[in-house]
């Protein structure tokens, strides 16, 4: 009896086998949905810019 897992996106039972390349997702759609959430905001990683240690000139920030 093959092991089954729940699709992280829709909680559908998915057979955990090499044939299913979308595992642990039930389908490519659910996989894309999860990846989309990953890229949008669910797991957004804070990005901060650090100034170059050598550069000593200040750049003005104007409108536009
Ligand atoms: Zn699913």
Q: Is residue 26 very low, low, confident or very high in pLDDT (cuts 50, 70, 90)?
A: very high
Domain boundaries, the chain: 4-40
Report how far ligand 1's centroid is from the alpha carbon of 51 (Å): 44
Spatial separation of the C-alpha atoms in residues 11 and 34, rounded to whole Å: 12
Tens of pLDDT, residue by residue over 16-25, are: 999 999 999 9
Q: Tell me which of 53 and 27 has the higher pLDDT.
A: 27
Please check the confidence at residue 4 and state whether its pLDDT lies above 80.
yes
pLDDT recorded at residue 36 = 83
Taking residues 35-53, what's their average pLDDT?
70
Report how far ligand 1's centroid is from the alpha carbon of 38 (Å): 16
4-40 CATH: 3.30.50.10
Helix ranges (DSSP H) in the chain: 28-40
Q: Tell me which of 9 and 2 has the higher pLDDT.
A: 9
Beta strands in the chain (DSSP E): 4-6, 13-15
């Amino acid at each position: 009896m093959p092991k089954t897992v729940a699709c992280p996106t829709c909680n559908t039972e998915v057979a955990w086998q090499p044939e299913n390349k979308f595992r642990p997702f039930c389908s490519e759609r659910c996989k894309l949905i999860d990846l989309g959430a990953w890229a949008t905001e669910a797991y957004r990683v804070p990005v901060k810019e650090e100034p170059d240690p050598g550069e000593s000139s200040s750049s003005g920030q104007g409108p536009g």
